[in-house]
Amino acid sequence: MNQRIKVVHLIESLDIGGIERLIETIALGIDKTKYNLSVWALSCGGRIADRLRRAGIEVRILGIDTYYNPGNFFKLAFMFRADRVNIIHTHTYFSNTIGRIAAKIAGVKGIVTHVHSTYWEYSRRNLFVERFLSRLTDVIICCSNAVKDFVVNHEGINEQKVVTVYNGVYKLARQNNHTRIAEELGIKDSDIVIISIGSLYPNKGHDILLKALARDECRQTEVKCLIVGKGPMEAELKHTADNLGIKSNVIFAGLREDIGNLLSVSDIFVLPSVEREGLGNAILEATSAGLPVVASNIGGIPEAVIDGKTGYLVKPADINELAKTIASLISDEDTRHRLGIASAELYNQKFRADIMISKIEQIYDEVIGNA
């Protein structure tokens, strides 16, 4: 194919989130001499849409917010055909459903879908839809082996169509502007800073983290916890921190785009998820910055955290174990340093953005070649 391969990534919205940032990583890093990649949001834009546009990536907001209107399938199919799309790459259930059917109607050569977590909450209808649509799909990319196992064994999808491609992130190196960031957040040089990055939803387990920090072994004036993200649990979490008597130790930083700066003033990364977790992009960003990681032993997390070498795995929702593990790192700088070095090495081996992008490009080439 002499002209560039036209690739469209389809997602519901483009505000800040792990999946949206993953799409941004692919869009920025893909070989632009070979691929003409654009990102289409079905319902609405957001911060990632703005960042992609500033980087020169084409973004479209389609205003499609349901698949119960059959006309939307044909509307989307018409757009695929008019743009002569070669590959459609879908993300999340709504986009996966409408995108794959529309792509088939339009005669798109390559249909790729990306599964980002273990969706145990899927109903029988959801599972039926996924199995049916898998027949229309060339490749199903899973972000971890745990997700692949879910897709094959729980959703019942043909293993030959499923491949694991670990998420990759750009290196978020420790910055040199510690003083400015520390002053902004009210962090002292003597503080031990714990950071947790993620949307403030129940499944992320921030309440478990707060309860662990309130235990005697963690309750120290020099311990600060940065909670980065927004979501419906924010007010409740702030109330919890106040009730636990640790309000002065917890900093709710909100949505931030300077994650590298926040990691630069942090000592320990914690992801206390209690339900599902495909891999945890925030973990990968923490490893890229050489931080030791404490995370729940759930989903694909054990593939990103080597217990005892790059961090520690704990039982989900186990406040006691989480508190003891965090406390052991608070009091042991040498262990934090050792785990952090190994964490950075693991990132270099498995979770760099260029590794992920290279594998996705290979999938695109195979899909086009096999069409």
- CATH code for position 91: 3.40.50.2000
- Residues 330, 218: Cα–Cα separation, whole Å: 8
Is 91 part of a structural domain of the chain? yes
Full-prediction pTM beyond 0.75? Answer: yes
The DSSP H or E segment spanning 250 is strand 250-254
- Whether the pLDDT of residue 228 is over 90: the answer is yes
- Residues 186, 180: Cα–Cα separation, whole Å: 10
- Residues 287, 196: Cα–Cα separation, whole Å: 13
Which range, 8-22, 87-101, 174-188, is most confident?
87-101
- Among 34-38, 43-47, 265-269, 276-280, the range scoring the smallest mean pLDDT is 276-280
Q: Does one domain contain both 71 and 20?
A: yes
- Segment 54-82, tens digit of pLDDT: 999 999 999 998 888 999 999 999 999 99
Q: Identify whether the C-beta of residue 133 lies closer than 8 Å to the C-beta of residue 101.
A: yes
User: 279-295: b or e for each residue (b if 16 or more CB lie within 10 Å)?
Assistant: bbbbbbbbbbbbbbbbb
- Residues 187, 177: Cα–Cα separation, whole Å: 13
Is 104 part of a structural domain of the chain? yes
- Residues 311, 300: Cα–Cα separation, whole Å: 15
Q: Residue 337's domain spans which residues? A: 178-350
Average pLDDT of the segment spanning 177-194: 85
* Summary mean pLDDT of the chain: 93
Q: Does one domain contain both 55 and 25?
A: yes
For residue 219, the model assigns a pLDDT of 86
For residue 171, the model assigns a pLDDT of 85
For residue 180, the model assigns a pLDDT of 80
Q: Does one domain contain both 159 and 300?
A: no
- Segment 28-43, tens digit of pLDDT: 999 999 999 999 999 9
Is 173 part of a structural domain of the chain? no
Average pLDDT of the segment spanning 345-371: 93
pLDDT above 70 covers a percentage of the chain that reads: 97
Q: Does one domain contain both 333 and 205?
A: yes
